[in-house]
Structure 1
Amino acid sequence: MTHHTDAERAEFEAWLEPSYSREKWHTGEYTDDTVYSMFAAWQAARRAPAAPVPQGVVEPIETVKYWRDAYANPQGDEHFMGHGMVVKIFDDYLGMLAAAPQPPEAAPVQLPEPDSYCFQHEETGLTQYVDAQQVEWGFEKNNPRWKRVGAAYSEQQVRELLAAHGIQERST
Structure 2
Amino acid sequence: MNENRESKSATPALRASDAEREHVAKLVSEAAGEGRLTLAEAEERLEQVYVVTYRGELDRFTADLPNGRATAAGPRSSIATRAAGLPSRLRVHAAVAVVLSVFLIMRFVASGAEFFWPAGPMFLLWGSLAVHASVVARSSRAGDRWVRQRRTPPWTGNTNEGSNEGTEGRT
After TM superposition, the score normalised by the length of structure 2 is: 0.23
- TM, length-normalised to structure 1: 0.23
Q: Which has the larger radius of gyration?
A: 1
More strand by share: 1
More helix by share: 2
